[in-house]
Structure 1
Amino acid sequence: MSKDYPVPAGYLERETEVKKSRFIARIVPVSSREEVKSWLESAHKDHPDARHICWAYQLGRPGSAAEAAMSDDGEPSGTAGKPILNVIQHKDMGDVLVMVIRYFGGVKLGAGGLVRAYAGAAESVLSAVDRVVQQPMAAVTVTMQFADEQPIRHWCEVNGAEVESVDYGNRVTARLQVPEELSEALIAFCDAQRLDYHFDN
């Protein structure tokens, strides 16, 4: 599914230290609650001795996210998950999970100190990670003769479209994912080649 809003380009980790406590922040792109759960399990496996693993995530378009959640994981209420989520929302990024793994350094930070530390850790990865915006795509079904399959595959290759599936019967039926901005170009190509097509969405 293509997204026309910024999402993290990949995994990134950054470490900060505040009064001897280590804060290891991780950012990952996620598209479901199951992915969030799996990344959190990995963090617990990687850091079994960490005092807290706090997190926040946002799925969907920034500003109207389909789902968002957070956890203080034992830190005083509102001092960890919420600051992380606030930074995510401020960065205008969707489909993102930020985890902050804390190793306690023996010095208590107080509520204000914790908020600043967790927000700072989240900021460190959110500022450093590359952002990607995928183009909105249109699903198109094209029906053609066998001889037309190679030209349509070539058109897709050149234009960044994807051949999702091809069915062979009396004729060839191909399902394509085409960048929306190239819909007109595909229509022109199909008309010139006399191919049948319809847009599925």
Structure 2
Amino acid sequence: MEMKHRKQKKENAEESSRIKENELQWGPEHSARPIGKVIKITNKQGNEKCHYERFKFRGRKYGLISFEGSVILFSEDASKKLYVAIIKDIYVQGKKGYVKLKVHWFYHLEDVDKKYVRNWKSKDSKDIFYRFHRDEVFAESVKDDSSVYFVPDNKQVPNHGFIVQRVYNTENKKLRKFTFESW
């Protein structure tokens, strides 16, 4: 009986190992792919970039659609909230390069040092701050699309999506009201 139990345990371990191995494999079919025609080609120091309006990843399409092209990105730290960003550029560098995104970041309240936020109180967990920072990320870091609404204080807030009513400048560490005049 004990032999049979050991044999079953060994078979279960081997099956578990095969499943983990399959989960860890990452091939081209798991990568983001550009969609459509190249809209622009840039060439800086021999590094040609082909720019696109859209890409597809995990069966979903994402793109550059003004401020509607916002996405939720995985955080490197699982204990932190997911990141929110607007897609500003989609490109592939080189012939077999990965799809990369240039994104414009938003901050959650906990991403800002409390002494710079002062007395401001968040009305909702959907409140985020516009930030003057762009960065490049791999398209595979996209978790989902999202809606981001820029709403001045005197306007009605939508029931869904993220809300931007403040702008956070990381250089001078100032938080100010968002207005269309200041935009």
TM range (shorter): under 0.3
TM-score (norm 2): 0.21
TM value normalised by structure 1: 0.20
**Higher relative contact order (CA closer than 8 Å, sequence separation 6+):** 1
**Bigger share in helix:** 1
Instruction: Indicate the structure with greater strand content.
Output: 2
